[in-house]
Copies of this chain bind each other. A is one copy, B any other.
Amino acid sequence: MAKTWKIEPTDSLRVREGFRLADVDTSATPGFNGDKKYGVQALESGAEQLSAMQEKLFASSRGAGGTRSVLLVLQAMDTAGKGGIVRHVVGAVDPQGIRHKAFKAPTEEELAHDFLWRVRREAPTPGMMGVFDRSHYEDVLIGKVRELASLDEIERRYGAIQEFERELVDAGTVIVKVMLHISYDEQKRRLADRLDRPDKFWKFNPGDIDERNLWSDYQNAYEIALQRTSTDDSPWFVVPADRKWYARVAVQRLLVDALSGLDLAWPPADFDVDLQKVRLAAS
């Protein structure tokens, strides 16, 4: 059987120096060795792999000294498919090991604190796979485009984010930062679909069009944020997302790769197995 990936997404999708968002073809399928049909198959077999690895991650936190965790950060323009990633990629994993957090517009209380305050509290604990549906990056994206903070403050935040993420990494977290990248036209089609289907109305908000009208401002804000915060410890991956099947299989692969890097093993017994067998037999 041919390899599923000619080039790994960790390599082909990674944001490196000199990155330009406009260079990314949103309808491409970089590195994947097949078409949609094969992509759907790959997603299924990858689901088992991801689920098995996640169980080991979870188990490792039960043994003494397990510190490892994973954090998936999802950022995207509206309709790019964050929800689909959560349902179809993360959904393959035992819910017991998932901590999903959707960040909304900050509350009064949250605004009274530094922008990282609410984020810090949602960082995954050992053994867990955290999912941020939007994140602290909103504070340098909508925060910048809508001028919710001064330019100086935005500037400060890039550094604060780097520092914050380094703390997480030092504490044992692998961070997988994903921007799902769709085209302006594809967004139009998807929004139109939501307006055509009563079972999709709930996903639509008139504000989505306001944001759409600021498309190029957002693209600029993304490009700068990605350039400024894609580090060796915590790189960004820009995933072409016009084809949903590709985005899903690519993000799944990024997660599998992140978990592989942890060299997880079943934790050894921290009790005397034979003694416990004797006790059980006597019960």
Q: Which of A155-163, A199-207, A226-234 contacts B (4 or more CB under 8 A)?
A: A199-207
> Which of A63, A96, A203, A212 has most chain B Cβ within 10 Å?
A96
Residues of B within 8 A of A90 (CB): 95
Q: Which of A135-143, A168-176, A262-270 contacts B (4 or more CB under 8 A)?
A: A262-270
Confirm or deny: A116 has a beta carbon within 8 angstroms of a beta carbon on chain B: no
The answer to whether B95 touches A213, judged by C-beta atoms less than 8 angstroms apart, is no
Instruction: List 25 A–B pairs whose Cβ atoms lie within 8 Å, in order of A's numbering.
Output: A59-B202, A59-B203, A87-B94, A87-B95, A90-B95, A91-B94, A91-B95, A93-B95, A95-B100, A95-B131, A188-B283, A191-B280, A195-B277, A195-B280, A198-B268, A198-B269, A199-B266, A201-B267, A201-B273, A206-B271, A206-B276, A209-B279, A209-B283, A212-B280, A213-B283
The answer to whether B209 touches A276, judged by C-beta atoms less than 8 angstroms apart, is yes
> Which of A63, A93, A188, A201 has most chain B Cβ within 10 Å?
A201
Count residues of chain A with CB under 8 A from any CB of chain B. 44
The interface bits of chain A over 240-283 (1 if a CB of B lies within 8 angstroms of the residue's CB, else 0) are 00000000000000000000000000111101010011011001
